[in-house]
Each structure stands twice: as structure tokens, then as C-alpha cells.
Amino acid sequence: MATSSSAPCIRHVFLTGSPGVGKTTLIHKAIEQLRQSSLNLHGFYTEEARAGGKRTGFDVITLSGRRGPLARVGQGRGPAVGQYTVDLVSFESLALPELSVKEHGRSTSSILVIDEIGKMELFSQSFVQLVRRLLSQSACPILGTIPVPKGKPLGLVEEVRSRTDVKVFMVTKENRNNLLAEIVQTVTQARAQIT
């Protein structure tokens, strides 16, 4: 007879879906609700940078309020995704400390937010190694986003997607307004199981 302990323990929650479908909006709404429960949230999200009505790149914004460039159209040298040059120094100086400070188990009431694990972020090997460590060893659940599979598979993204301790929500235009409660409940339950 199977027991409840034979079911996989969900430790992390990730959203996936097409670009622009509302993953980051759902992350923001989940952050608001989780903060109302006196939970500490640490991490980052990405946002379009615009000038004159045109997208000029992407910024990384930490939950502690720091902001800097993730990528810009044709600026400088470095890894590129399409027309965007990734600013690894800026990304790593913002994202890594925000995630690392909680890696050492300072707070079991913390939830880590990683929006997103995508092509641009994956140019940072320090980020890749840290995320792998956090997925396996952290006492904090992760709420994050990953892109839908397209073209060449992204190693870490596929690792996240295939983990038995990860619940992946597919966000669509049809379901995006109905997922928030389930996402928040799953993250809250994951935190309770880890602590």
C-alpha cells in the first residue's frame, strides 16, 4: 500500500509559457500575496528597458530594489542573444548576491524568486552553478520562470523542467487569470515541507 511519503515532495515552483503571456505579472502578484504572509522573499525579475517607445533591452531588478542592465541593443562586447548584448558584470553583481545571501540557510521563512532562467542569464556560469546548488541544497523554495522549449535545448532549463521536486505551471492567455491561488498555495506548501 502506497503512503503519502511516496509522492514526490514539491520544493520549487516554476512558470513557463510564451513570451509576453504574463509569467512575470503572475510572479509579481504571487510576491504581493506571499509578502502578506510575513514571508521573506529574495531574488530578481527582469523587465523591458524602453526609450522613445522602443525596447532598448532588459533590466534586472532585485526584490531589494536595486536595478541595472541585463542586456542592451548592440552595446559593447560580450555574449549576444539576437540584437541584445548581455551585460554579465551587471547581471552577476545584482542577481548573485541577492540569491547567495540566502543560500547559507539564514532564514527558513525565505522564498527565492528567479525570473528568469533564460538564454541571457545562462551566459553566467556563476549563476548556473548557484541555481543548481540552490535547487539541490537550499532550505528555501524557488519561485521562478523558465522559457518554453524552442530550438536548441537549454541545459539548466531542461534540468529544472525534468526535476521531480519541481512543479511547472504552463501559463497561457486562457488560464493566466486563474493560476495565482494555485501558485501561491503550491509555494506555501513547498516552504512548509522544506522547513
pLDDT at residue 39, as a whole number: 86
* Residues β-bridged to residue 83: none
Residue 1: pLDDT band (50, 70, 90) is very low
pLDDT at residue 137, as a whole number: 84
* Residues β-bridged to residue 41: 111
Average pLDDT of span 6-30: 91
pLDDT at residue 131, as a whole number: 96
Other CB atoms within 10 A of residue 135 CB: 20
Q: pLDDT tens digit string along 96-117?
A: 999 986 554 545 568 999 999 9
Write the secondary structure of the chain as one string of H (helix), E (strand) and C (coil): CCCHHHCCCCCEEEEEECCCCCHHHHHHHHHHHHHHCCCEEEEEEEEEEEECCEEEEEEEEECCCCEEEEEEECCCCCCEECCEEECHHHHHHHHHHHHHCCCCCCCCCEEEEEECCCCCHHHCHHHHHHHHHHHHHCCCCEEEEEECCCCCCCHHHHHHHHCCCEEEEECCCCCHHHCHHHHHHHHHHHHHHHC
Domain limits, the chain: 8-44+101-194
Considering the segment(s) 8-44+101-194 as one domain, its CATH architecture is 3-Layer(aba) Sandwich (3.40)
The model's pTM is 0.90
Q: pLDDT tens digit string along 134-175?
A: 999 878 999 999 999 888 888 999 999 999 999 999 999 999
